[in-house]
Amino acid sequence: MAIIVLFTDFGPAGPYTGQMEAVLWQMAPAHPVIDLLSSAPIANPRASSYLLAALRHSFPKGSIFLAVVDPGVGSERKAVVLQADGQYFVGPDNGLLNTVAVHARQVQWFEIVWRPEQCSMSFHGRDLFASVAARLACDASDDLLKPFTRHDLDTWPVDLAEVIYFDHYGNAMTGLRYHEGLAGKSLMVDGIVMEQADTFSAVDEHQAFWYKNSSGLVEIAVNKGSAKQLGLDVGAGISFGT
C-alpha cells in the first residue's frame, strides 16, 4: 500500500495542509498520509530540493511524495511527476524535484497533462497535485501523465554548500552530504570557524560545532543554543579548511 508523504512550505498555521489532506482522504482513503514537513524554506524550491532529497530515504519504494513549494503557481511552469528509484514525486517543475533526480540511479519524468474542471490559479497543491498523488496511489493515473526526457540538469549541483533549513531547535542543516573526506576539518561560515563533534555533549555549553546529522547532511549547531545566534540564514555559504 502506497504511503503519501506531504512536503510543503505551508507552515503549521492556516488551512492549506488540511485542505490537501481532505482531497487525499476523499480520493484515496485506504492510503496513509504522513505530514513529513510543512516548514520547508518558504518560496525557495532550490533549498527545499536538497532537504527533500535527504529526507526521502526514510520512506520505502512505492511512496508518493506530494511536494509543494511553489512561488510560481499559476505561471507557465510545468506540473510534473518524477519517478526516482521506485518512489514518486508530484509537484511543480521549478527545481524542487531536481536534486532527487540527480541523486537517483533510475529516473523518469512525466508532465501532468490532465487538469480538473475546477482548478484554482493559486492553489495547485489542493486542486491538481493532491488529486494526481491520490490517483497514483490508486493506480489510476494512466491518462494523466505524458512522459518526457530532459537534458537540463547537467549543471544542477549534486550538493549545495549552503544552509538550507533551520529545525525546531535552531540547528542549521546544509545541502552538503557528509563524506569521510570532511572528517576532522574545520567548517567556516560567515567568518565563523567551528570544529567537528559527534555529539552535543562533546562540546562546551553554547559552543558552536558541526556534525553529520541523522539524514547524512552536514549540520551546524550550538550546544544548548541556536545556530541562529550566529547570525546565519538560509543561503549562507559554508566551506571547509584543513
- Give tens-digit pLDDT for 82-140: 999 999 999 999 999 999 999 999 999 999 999 888 888 889 999 999 999 999 999 98
Report whether pLDDT(1) > 90: no
Residue matched to cell numbers 511552469:
77
Backbone angles phi, psi at 164, to 5 degrees: -120, -15
* Cβ 75 vs Cβ 43: under 8 Å: no
With CA atoms as reference, report the closest residue to 100 among 45, 24, 35: 45
State the Cα–Cα distance between residues 183 and 208, nearest whole angstrom. Answer: 17
With CA atoms as reference, report the closest residue to 141 among 83, 73, 57: 83
| Domains by residue range for the chain, with CATH | 4-148 (3.40.50.10790), 160-240 (2.40.30.90)
DSSP state of 237: B
Task: Give the cell for residue 198.
Answer: 559527534
* Cβ 234 vs Cβ 166: under 8 Å: yes
Question: According to the model, what pLDDT value does residue 141 have?
Answer: 76
* Cβ 137 vs Cβ 2: under 8 Å: yes
- Cα atoms in the 13 Å half-sphere on the side-chain side of 167: 15
Looking at residues 202-224, what average pLDDT do you find? 97
How do strand 160-166 and strand 79-84 relate by DSSP bridges?
Answer: unpaired
Question: Tell me: the pLDDT tens digits for 162-188?
Answer: 999 999 999 999 999 999 999 999 999
* Backbone CA torsion sign across 35, 41, 42, 43: negative
The overall average pLDDT reported for the chain is: 95
Identify the helix (H) or strand (E) that includes residue 88: strand 87-92
